[in-house]
Structure 1
C-alpha cells in the first residue's frame, strides 16, 4: 500500500505520534491559492475611494494606533466584505464539488437545481415581509427554502445520479426565476430596488453580524463533506463496490445532499445569488490537481473563495464610483465557461 501511495505521488509526514499522507503538489498548490487569496484580500482592503498603504492596513488589522477613519474603513467596512466574499465563495465551491460527486455529473451545481432560487425566494419574503428581523434569521429561512426545492427536485427526478436530476432542477429553477420576475414587475419600487441589489449577488451590504453566520454553516458543511470524502471516493466506483467496502450509500447520499444545499442557502442568505462558482471551481480543481474527493474539495473551496473575492474587488474598483455586483461579474465569466463545458461533454449528453 505504501509503495502504491508513493507511486501515486503521496508522501508521509510525521510529527511525533501524528502522521499524515499528502501529495506535495496538492500542498504546494493549496499554499499558492491561499497566498493569492491573502494578497487579493490585502489589495481589496487597501483599495477604494480612500486609498490606503499596506502599512495602514496591517496596523488597522492588528489594532495598532491608526487614524480613526482608517480603522473604520478597514475594520468596519472592507474587512467584513472581504471575509464574506471568501466564505461565500468557499461554500459555493465546496457545494459544487459535492453535488458533482453525488450526481456523477460534471454539470451539476446547486444553482442549476433550483437551490439558490429557492433560498432567494425564502430570504426575499423574509426581508420584505419582516424587515425588522435580525440578519441572522436569513440563513435558516434560506436553508428551509433551498432544502425544500432540493427535496422536491429529487422527488420529481426519482434519482440524484443522472442527467434527469439536473434537467428537472433546471426546470424548477426557471419556474422559481419566473416567480421572482413576476414579483419584480408587480411590487413596490422600493421593494424592487432592494430585491434587485440583493439578487445580483452584491456584497455592498456586508456587515459583521453576517460573518459568524457564514463561518458557522461553512464550517459545519465543510466538516461533513471532508469526513465523508473517503466514502464518496468509494461511491464513485459504483454502488456494488461501495457496498462491498462498507459504505452506507443512503446515509452518504443524505449527507452529501444536505451539506451543499445548506451551505449554498447560507451563502445566498448572506450575499445574495452568486452564479457559476459551484460549477467552475470543481472543474478548475480537477483540471489542475486531480486526486481524490478530499483534494478536490479543498481546492474547490480555495478556488471559490478566490473567484468571489476577485470578482467583488474587480466590480468595486474597475468602474468606480459605480459598483458592479460580484454576481454580475461571475456571470460574465461563468457563461462562456459553462458553454465550454457543455461543448466538451456534447457526446455524453
Structure 2
C-alpha cells in the first residue's frame, strides 16, 4: 500500500499543469508633484472578456483623470493620475480584486525618499504606506516571490525533479544542484543588469525541451550516458537557459529603483530555498520507497519519467505553435 501511494506521488509530480504560474499583478504608485501621483497597474487575465479591476486608493486620494487602459500579452495595463490631499504615509493602498487568484507587488515611490515594495496576497490585500520604509521590505517581498516562483513555476520544478530522480548518488545530487544554481544565478544577474538577453518565447520552448531531454534520459533506466556520468555539466548547461526564464519572470514583476541588487539577490535566494525544499522532498520520497518496496522503485520512476516527458512535450509543442495559434 505504501509503495503504491509513493508511486502515485511521483506520478503527480509529473501531472500537467500551467507551466509558469508566476504572473502576478503589479502596482506602481509614483509621486510626480507635491500632491500629484501616478498610479499604474498590470492585471493578468485568463480571457479577453475579463473586466479591468481597480486598486483601492489611500484615504484622501482621488482619481484626477479617467483611467487609460490597454491590452497586453495575457494582461491588461492601466494608468491614471491621482491627487492626494497631503501625504499618504500611514494610509493603506490595496488591490482586493487583483489578488483573488494570485499575488500583487506594490511599488511606492515618493519624491526624494526611498522606494517601498510590498507583496499583497488574498489574505492580506492591503499594505500600509510607511513614512520611513523598513530596510528589509524589499528583501522579504522578493524572497517570498522567489520561493513562490520555483514552487509554482512547474517547468522549472519538473526539471529539478527529473534531475534529482536521474542522479542517484548523494554527492552527485549536491554537485548537480549546485551547478544548476550557479548557472541560472549567472544568467539571471546578467539579464537583470542588462548584460545579456534572449527573446522569451524561444527560451520557454527550450526550457520545455530540457525537460523532455531529462525525461528521456530517466526513462532509459540505468544505462550509462553523458548525463549520468557528468550530471553537473548537463545541469550547468541547462541552468544557464533556465536563468533566462527566471529573468523573464523577474522582468514581469519589476524591480524597485535604487534597490535592484537587494531585489535580485533576495529573489534568487528565494528560488534556491524553494529548490532545496523540492530536492529534499524528492530524496525523502525516493528513500522511503527504496526502504519499503525496493522492487517497485524502478517502475515508479519510469512512470514519473513518462509523465514528465509527456508534460514537457506538451509544453514544447504549445510554446512552438502558440504564435500561429494566437494569430
TM-score between the two structures when normalised by the length of structure 1: 0.36
> Based on CA coordinates, which of the two structures has the bigger radius of gyration?
2
Q: Which has the higher helix share?
A: 1
Q: Which has the higher strand share?
A: 2
